[in-house]
Amino acid sequence: MAVAEDGSNGVLHGKYVLGRQLGHGTFAKVYQARNLYTGRNVAMKVVAKEKVIKAGMMEQLKREISVMKLVRHPNIVELHEVMASKSRVYFAMELVRGGELFSKIEKGRLREDVARSYFQQLISAVDFCHSRGFYHRDLKPENLLLDEDGNLKVTDFGLTAFSDHLRQDGLLHTTCGTPAYVAPEVIGKKGYDGAKADIWSCGVILYVLLAGFLPFQDENVVAMYRKIYRGFDLSPLFEEKKREEKQEIRFATTKPAETVVAKLEAVAEVMKFDVIKSGDESSLRLQGREIGRKGKLGILAEIRAVAPSLLVVEVKKSSDRQ
């Protein structure tokens, strides 16, 4: 039987029976398919060549094929074979039935032991890639799939860079990735280490798994980039600033809440601030004693346990000066 023009049914290359559509994107559709000779079920990614060429992304497609042919790791989606026709490229890949890790996070933060297991598998796959001289550069929960046994699988290698993409300074210079997960040096456009950039993204993913939200987020991308640049530096909150913008910092710590409170109280004493605690000590307010042009300066600290051994502390200037 001939393959339909949209690739939605029929026998592909006399070898694969295409079934239901599993998903789609701008340039490709993914179908469940079965190999007639082995009986193995696969995910068949059908890429429209014309769309890819018009978007100037043919090199990206070739790069993805090159990478997936090189990798064989239990936590990386396996590419079985690549086929092509005049109008399409077909990727026969490992069928991963558990969906995206992102869908798990949408339901709320994960237990610490579950997050640890996923993170260990992620790091294993990323380390394997780095040892072969290439860097993913777009690690995020949407590109991490789960199989039926809950094993993590890294996918989508379209933005991967190889060691031979390094410039004479030994760094990568192409800005890419998903804004909330990119390292500050990638945004800086002065060159970056691909391995370190991937590790930063892994750290953001771990934070999201445990906290249930991003460490750096803002509807305005430029504002979010500023937060990424600041990282987890708390010093801006305790320095005189000429600009009037609201400042807000989140950071994670494995120290107990009592230690965090004690350190904040110590800072308050040095700065001659009064400390006002909530009933359950989940938040405290540092209230300046001196009256400035806008009243007494206030700093609010909120402490949340996202796991038995991990706290997220959010510190910001209080909006209601007294």
Q: Which active-site residues does the annotation give?
A: 138
For the chain, the farthest-separated pair of C-alpha atoms sits apart, in whole angstroms, at 83
Chain mean position to CA 211: 13
Assigned token pair, 92: 């026969």
CA angle in degrees (0–180, nearest 5) for 27-30-31: 145
**Does residue 26 contact residue 10 with C-beta atoms inside 8 Å?**
no
Q: Name which of 312, 314, 311 is nearest 302 in CA terms.
A: 314
Q: Where are the beta strands (DSSP E) in 129-203?
A: 134-135, 144-146, 152-154, 161-162
Q: Tell me the residue type at 261.
A: V
CA angle in degrees (0–180, nearest 5) for 177-118-154: 45
Q: Which residues of 139-148 are buried (b: 16+ CB within 10 A; e: fewer)?
A: bbbbbbbbbe
CA–CA gap between residue 31 and residue 45 (Å, rounded): 6
Q: Which residues contact 322 (CB under 8 A, 6 or more apart)?
A: 287, 295, 296, 298
